[in-house]
């Protein structure tokens, strides 16, 4: 059994002068991550590895997530990745990795959250900023990862946690 934790970056500042890669979190994004971090700590979430887009807002989101001493890989392929690109990144993971956190961007993360579980349930409404999706995958190796295999164990957003965030 493998486990994937999808974390979309928190709310970032507005785009200015076309520098999307360097955008940092807005105050609301930092506030949303406080609520999400508390939730993750309460659930005792942990992972063997974090795969994080190298963009400023995803790096900051990861720093505020509060996962502790989880090894981190900043993976260029996650920035502006499609669902297929993200699947390929996951399928390349070592079999020893039982649980991974993937921190990235829409639309790729949302498409992944809709594709991997047999029943996407609450993910059908979309993946807003700072959304957290835990998916259990009944596979032995990451190479076996295919659409429709997983089961959503948890779907949280800052709004569902009372932080008042909507999109």
Q: What CA–CA distances, in Å, run from 86 to 25, 40, 76, 83, 91? A: 23, 23, 11, 5, 9
Which pLDDT belongs to residue 68? Answer: 80
In a domain, 167, yes or no: no
Domain annotation covers residue 76: yes
Q: What is the CATH number of the domain that holds 74?
A: 3.40.50.1240
Residue 17 binned pLDDT confidence (cut-offs 50, 70, 90) = low
pLDDT above 60: residue 165: no
Mean pLDDT for the chain overall: 93
Cα–Cα distance for residue pair 39/135, rounded to 1 Å: 16
pTM of the model: 0.94
pLDDT tier for residue 91 given thresholds of 50, 70 and 90: very high
Query: Per-residue pLDDT tens for 25-60?
Result: 999 999 999 999 999 999 899 999 999 999 999 999
| Number of domains the chain is built from | 1
Is residue 42, in this structure, part of any structural domain at all? yes
In a domain, 16, yes or no: no
Beta bridge partners of 150: 117
Residue 79 included in any domain: yes
Residue 81 lies in a domain: yes
Q: Is residue 163 in a domain?
A: no
pLDDT exceeds 50 at position 163: yes
Domain with 41, as residue range(s), is 2-11+22-156
Q: Is residue 162 part of a domain?
A: no
| CA-based nearest residue to 102, from 66, 140, 141, 134 | 134
- What average pLDDT score do residues 11-22 get? 84
CB 152 within 8 A of CB 121: yes
């Amino acid at each position: 059994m493998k486990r994937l934790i999808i974390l979309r970056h928190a709310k970032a500042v507005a785009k200015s002068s076309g520098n999307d890669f360097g955008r940092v979190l807005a105050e609301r994004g930092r506030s949303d991550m406080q609520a999400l971090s508390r939730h993750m700590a309460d659930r005792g979430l942990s992972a063997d590895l974090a795969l994080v887009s190298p963009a400023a807002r995803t790096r900051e989101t990861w720093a505020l997530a509060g996962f502790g001493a989880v090894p981190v890989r900043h993976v260029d392929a996650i920035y502006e990745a499609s669902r297929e690109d993200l699947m390929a990144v996951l399928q390349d993971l070592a079999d020893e990795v039982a649980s991974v956190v993937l921190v990235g961007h829409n639309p790729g993360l949302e498409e992944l959250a809709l594709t991997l579980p047999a029943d996407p349930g609450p993910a059908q409404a979309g993946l807003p900023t700072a959304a957290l999706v835990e998916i259990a995958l009944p596979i032995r190796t990451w190479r076996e990862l295919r659409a429709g295999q997983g089961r959503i164990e948890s779907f949280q957003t800052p709004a569902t946690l009372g932080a008042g965030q909507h999109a």
